[in-house]
């Protein structure tokens, strides 16, 4: 097993709970690849500092991520993206999306990068962008199996950036079952400049 830092383990636990919304300890145990004693220490500590909550549901103890936990998770992901990527997506994920665009749309050299830009409001944003059909889009890959709080916040941020910069969104879904939910979220934010691809 690769050496993991405490931060890596915390991100793994929070990310799992953000995607599942709620989970039993045994499920978190398998997802985090920890032993029971170590996992208990992490769960107790994360509960104590308010990043996760422990509730009883149908005689089972269930763990959920809190709003504070979502906020910390987003910060951890941002930091890890800076440390492990070339300024855009982690290299293996970047290669994956380049292959997808080449295979499905015949695009040879898909340019996906992290770009800093100013909106009409004067606020400065950093967002993934992609050149697609001779236009520049804000790139939003959604890899989750289901819509989570993290997905909603990420999409809401992207819609805000899109509205402020006038750049359209290109949302790429790995799971077709999310398409209706994503469409509803887009309509909720009154965005007409979004294109969804399902891969």
Q: Give the mean pLDDT of the chain.
A: 78
Crossing angle for the helix pair 25-32 and 36-48, nearest 10 degrees? 110
- pLDDT value at 105 more than 80: no
Q: Which domain holds residue 22?
A: 6-67
Tell me the torsion sign for CA atoms 97, 137, 90, 178. negative
Judge whether 74 lies within some domain: no
Could you tell me if 132 and 194 lie in one domain?
yes
φ/ψ of residue 56, rounded to 5: -95, 130
Considering only 22-36, 46-60, 89-103, 117-131, which range has the smallest mean pLDDT?
89-103
Percent of the chain scoring above 90 in pLDDT: 19
Could you tell me if 123 and 162 lie in one domain?
yes
Classified as helix, coil or strand, 168 is coil
Judge whether 77 lies within some domain: no
pLDDT value at residue 82: 47
CA distances from residue 24 to 31, 49, 88, 92 in whole angstroms, order as listed: 11, 19, 34, 30
Token pair for 157: 């941020």
Judge whether 160 lies within some domain: yes
Could you tell me if 94 and 192 lie in one domain?
yes
Could you tell me if 92 and 42 lie in one domain?
no
Angle at 31 between CA 55 and CA 99, to 5 degrees: 130
Judge whether 187 lies within some domain: yes
Judge whether 73 lies within some domain: no
pLDDT value at residue 153: 76
Could you tell me if 106 and 194 lie in one domain?
yes
- pLDDT value at 22 more than 80: yes
Could you tell me if 140 and 184 lie in one domain?
yes
CA distances from residue 23 to 28, 99, 140 in whole angstroms, order as listed: 7, 34, 26
pLDDT value at residue 162: 86
- State mean pLDDT over 131-142: 80
Could you tell me if 123 and 190 lie in one domain?
yes
106's CB contacts (< 8 A; 6+ apart) are none
Could you tell me if 185 and 95 lie in one domain?
yes
Judge whether 78 lies within some domain: no
Could you tell me if 48 and 91 lie in one domain?
no
- pLDDT value at 46 more than 90: yes
Could you tell me if 90 and 57 lie in one domain?
no
Q: What confidence tens digit (pLDDT) does each residue in 49-67 have?
A: 999 999 998 889 999 999 8
Q: How confident is the model at residue 86 (pLDDT cuts 50, 70, 90)?
A: very low
Number of independent structural domains in the chain: 2
pLDDT value at residue 184: 79
Give the bridge partners for 90, in sequence order.
Answer: 85
How far the first Cα of the chain sits from its last, in Å, is 31
């Amino acid at each position: 097993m690769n050496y993991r830092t405490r931060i890596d383990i915390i991100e793994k636990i929070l990310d799992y709970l953000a995607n599942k919304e709620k989970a039993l300890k045994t499920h978190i145990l398998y997802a985090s690849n920890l032993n029971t004693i170590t996992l208990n220490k992490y769960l107790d500590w994360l509960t104590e500092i308010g990043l996760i909550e422990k509730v009883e549901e149908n005689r089972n103890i269930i763990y959920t991520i809190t709003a504070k936990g979502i906020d910390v998770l987003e910060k951890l992901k941002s930091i890890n993206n800076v440390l492990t990527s070339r300024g855009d997506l982690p290299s293996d994920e970047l290669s994956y999306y380049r292959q997808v665009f080449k295979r499905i749309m015949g695009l040879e050299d898909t340019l996906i990068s992290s770009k800093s830009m100013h909106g009409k409001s004067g606020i400065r944003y950093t967002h993934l962008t992609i050149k697609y059909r001779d236009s520049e889009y804000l790139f939003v890959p959604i890899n989750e199996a289901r819509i989570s709080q993290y997905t909603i916040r990420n999409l809401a941020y992207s819609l805000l950036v899109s509205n402020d910069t006038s750049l359209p969104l290109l949302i790429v879904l790995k799971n077709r079952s999310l398409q209706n939910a994503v469409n509803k979220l887009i309509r909720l934010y009154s965005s007409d400049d979004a294109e969804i691809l399902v891969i």
